């Protein structure tokens, strides 16, 4: 297997040669080189590489197609990963976006390419101790739909809870009195700002189903604390019309062409 050539002090910068040959802009050229789509004399190119004017340059035929196609990835985030940049020693969930972690039942027509990792950013967040559906996208339009100031896209969560003070719960009575449930649905404020109305109901005896149209920091956990509940598990199962379904924890799939949030 050929190894990448070291940048040479001789010759012209490869990205400039590509631009002069009309193959790509300088910026595109650097992106293609970084994505592994450019080979010089059969050897993978490296950023900053200099070449002689008559060098043979081969470009992956997928380059133009993949460059134009901005991918969106649906990831089942496990606990212990942060949504965005690495922090406090914890890895970002994006490190799970590898060929090996692609769900075997993903039937999207998109073929995995390392270039898809470039510019892939979370559209929304899940806390480090939460699991479920996380959207990673290269498409700014999708990011705006999901996290823009005017976004009204629903997010659905399954939330396991327990009383913060079990002694206050009478035997045979619900964990959450009707008036407290009503507060969860409409009537709470965080950081001095009222929350949008939420749909909250019991999924089973110790698990609530939340449907929100906003995403303040640690919102569900803080809402539950205000009504005397402690969250012991939180999983996002739907964003808009896109569901987590059977996607295993730690694996991902591409958003299919026919899917819309």
- Is residue 127 part of the annotated active site? The answer reads yes
Query: Residue 19 belongs to what H/E stretch?
Result: helix 14-20
Within 10 angstroms of residue 64's Cβ, the number of other Cβ atoms is 15
Q: In which residue are the tokens 């008559």 written?
A: 54
Backbone phi, psi, residue 74, to 5°:
-105, 120
Give helix 219-226 / helix 178-185 axis angle, nearest 10°.
150
The dihedral sign for the CA sequence 209, 249, 131, 156 = negative
Catalytic residue among 106, 127, 139, 206: 127
Q: Check: CB of residue 78 under 8 Å from CB of residue 248.
A: no
In eight-state DSSP terms, residue 238 is E
By the 8 A CB rule, do 81 and 93 touch? yes
Report helix, strand or coil for 50.
strand
Annotated catalytic residues are: 127
């Amino acid at each position: 297997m050929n190894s990448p050539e070291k940048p040479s002090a001789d010759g012209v910068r490869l990205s400039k040669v590509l631009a002069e040959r009309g193959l790509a802009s300088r910026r595109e050229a650097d992106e293609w080189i970084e994505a592994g789509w450019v080979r010089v004399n059969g050897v993978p190119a490296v950023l900053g590489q200099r070449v002689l004017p008559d060098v043979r340059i081969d470009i992956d035929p997928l380059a133009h197609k993949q460059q134009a196609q901005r991918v969106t990835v649906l990831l089942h985030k496990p606990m212990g990963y942060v949504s965005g940049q690495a922090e406090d020693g914890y890895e970002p969930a994006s490190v799970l976006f590898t060929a090996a972690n692609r769900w075997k039942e993903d039937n999207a027509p998109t073929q995995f390419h390392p270039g898809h990792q470039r510019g892939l950013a979370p559209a929304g967040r899940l806390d480090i101790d939460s699991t479920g559906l996380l959207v990673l996208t290269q498409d700014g339009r999708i990011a705006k739909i999901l996290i823009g100031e005017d976004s009204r896209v629903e997010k659905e969560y399954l939330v396991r809870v327990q009383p913060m003070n079990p002694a206050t719960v009478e035997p045979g009575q619900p964990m959450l009195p009707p008036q407290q449930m009503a507060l969860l649905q409409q009537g709470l404020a965080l950081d001095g700002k009222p929350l949008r109305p939420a749909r909250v109901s019991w999924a089973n005896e110790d698990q609530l189903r939340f449907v929100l149209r906003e995403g303040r920091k640690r919102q569900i956990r803080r809402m539950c604390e205000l009504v005397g509940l402690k969250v012991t598990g939180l999983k996002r199962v739907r964003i808009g019309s896109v569901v987590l379904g059977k996607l295993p924890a730690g694996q991902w799939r591409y958003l299919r062409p026919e899917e819309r949030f």
